[in-house]
Amino acid sequence: MLKGSWKTDENDEVFIDIEADQTNADDESDDDGVNNCGSWSQLPDLVVEQVFSYLTIRQRYYASLVCRSWSAAFNLQHVWATFMFDDSTLTRRKFNYYYGWQHVLDHMRLQNCLSRIGRNIRCLVFAPLVNFFNLYEFMNMFSYFAEQPPPANLGIGPNIRSLRFVFPCNMAVGDETEQAHIFGTGACAIQFGLIVYRREVVGSPEEADG
């Protein structure tokens, strides 16, 4: 930081006198402060990869702008091993005349995301959702990639080892005495599991009633 003061010479002319020595001292002190913070850009890839795995997608993006090594860590395999989908994942705001502003799934962003990191997903987690249409659209697009023969599927689907779906049975309603009726989501989730795992599900009417 430059420091100076107003001074008057022998001809009564006013000028600014910059203290060069003080400026150099300030620069050296600033450099010392930066060095004392540590070389975050030189952290091992395993450490940065573990840190990125705890961040959200938005936080990972901002962290990747710090330096080149962190930008490279954004695409590491372990960072995207667990992918959680919720109401705000890869969405954009859209105005609805009845509900107002809503978060709807951005298909272009989802397609770009799956094409880049879809092959790294090992665990797919569906958090409790309010907008089930976003879930339906996500399942459709993910299933489309998974059903394509290689290499058209971009490695999406075969690497998934676990699937967790948390169904929001206790959704909040306006009247406590009113029961929340949710329908049209279970069959889609089962179909998605069949596509991902390629397993046959055999059920009896008794199991369906239970």
pLDDT in tens, 10-22: 666 655 565 544 4
| Same domain for 112 and 202 | yes
Residues 89, 57 contacting (CB under 8 angstroms): yes
Tell whether 69 is covered by a domain.
no
| Same domain for 119 and 16 | no
Tell whether 52 is covered by a domain.
no
Using alpha carbons, select from 186, 59, 196 the residue that is nearest to residue 121.
Answer: 196
Q: Tens digit of pLDDT for each residue in 59-108? A: 888 988 988 888 888 888 889 988 888 888 888 888 888 878 888 888 88
3-state secondary structure of 100: strand
Using alpha carbons, select from 134, 114, 122 the residue that is nearest to residue 185.
Answer: 134
| Same domain for 195 and 113 | yes
Residue numbers of the domain that contains 16: 1-38
Distances (CA, A) of 201 to 187, 198, 204: 12, 10, 10
| Same domain for 188 and 93 | yes
- The model scores a pTM over 0.85: no
Domain count, the chain: 2
Peptide bond into 128 cis (omega under 30): no
Tell whether 97 is covered by a domain.
yes
> Is residue 210 predicted with pLDDT exceeding 70?
no
Tell whether 189 is covered by a domain.
yes
| Same domain for 16 and 115 | no
| Same domain for 200 and 101 | yes
Tell whether 58 is covered by a domain.
no
Using alpha carbons, select from 195, 192, 172, 194 the residue that is nearest to residue 182.
Answer: 172
| Same domain for 128 and 34 | no
Q: Tens digit of pLDDT for each residue in 130-152? A: 778 888 888 888 888 888 877 77
Distances (CA, A) of 187 to 56, 133, 170, 202: 29, 14, 19, 14
| Same domain for 32 and 86 | no
Tell whether 46 is covered by a domain.
no
Q: What letter would DSSP give residue 180?
A: P
| Amino acid making up residue 197 | Y
Tell whether 61 is covered by a domain.
no
Tell whether 25 is covered by a domain.
yes
